[in-house]
Amino acid sequence: MRSTWDPQRYLAFADERGRPFVDLVARIDSTDPRVVVDLGCGPGNLTSLLAGRWPAAAVTGVDSSADMVRVASDSAAAARVVFHKADLRDWVRDVEPGSVDVLVSNATLQWVPEHLALLPALAAAVSPGGWLAFQVPGNHVAPSHTLLAELAAEPPYAAHTAGVERVGAHDATTYLRALQGLGGEVDAWETTYLHVLQGEDPVFTWISGTGARPTLQALPEDLRPGFESEYKARLRAAYPDDGHGVAFPFRRIFVVARMPG
């Protein structure tokens, strides 16, 4: 089962989700790219920052979710950005080699199984001396994810959640070596953001818009409320609110590579 996405739920923590994108793009030292592409653009709010950074560039946002592309296309960003629906694996297969000056992917590759094998094709899409930059979550061993997996493996949920989409990423060194092997000049690092989340069950709200969504959608309607209730309780125990908001550490992996000229 392939999950669908809720742009409004995703945007519930837009500022917190946007910080890694801003930090990633800040390390791209491109002055006058002609073509800029955002793979996995989501609702387009961050893609618009690329158009602001490089106003003379043709900027395109690509996402596999029709709902995300619809929201992006209806947003103010559409005045400067062309959005279209495509799986990034199809996009990279069809793109003309060397045609993109800056290729960005933010919190998307972790959804692509064996995405490490895609790096040569992504690098090939970049023009000589161009830039490939991406960021992936590195918090898959955090309680937010381990509690989800543990609960999903329990009866009566396990019969419905087997085989759902799972996120996965490599460490910074693995990406560094892979792109160095392709001739790139690579900067790879990791950052753990400490978000302070407000509201009722904010960690559930966060992860239900991303990593937990495939599991939740795989459950039948009669089981989902019970699952959500128990998951929220476990998250509250793991991420308590002491009256000043919920401290939510989130590790992310960044890679910026300038490809050989």
Give the CATH number, domain containing residue 223. Answer: 3.40.50.150
In a domain, 38, yes or no: yes
**Cα 6 to Cα 164: distance, rounded to the nearest angstrom:** 17
In a domain, 39, yes or no: yes
Residue 10 pLDDT: 47
- What is the model's pTM? 0.92
In a domain, 134, yes or no: yes
Strands 35-39 and 100-106: parallel
Q: How many CB atoms lie within 10 A of CB 174?
A: 14
Residue 1 pLDDT: 43
Residues of the chain with pLDDT under 50: 1-2, 5, 10
Residue 215 pLDDT: 94
Number of domains in the chain: 1
In a domain, 1, yes or no: no
Q: State the residue range of the domain holding 72.
A: 7-258
Q: Is the dihedral of CA 235, 238, 244, 248 positive or negative?
A: negative
**Cα 252 to Cα 112: distance, rounded to the nearest angstrom:** 17
Residue 15 pLDDT: 82
**E runs forming strands in the chain:** 35-39, 58-63, 81-85, 100-106, 126-137, 185-197, 246-258
In a domain, 34, yes or no: yes
In a domain, 73, yes or no: yes
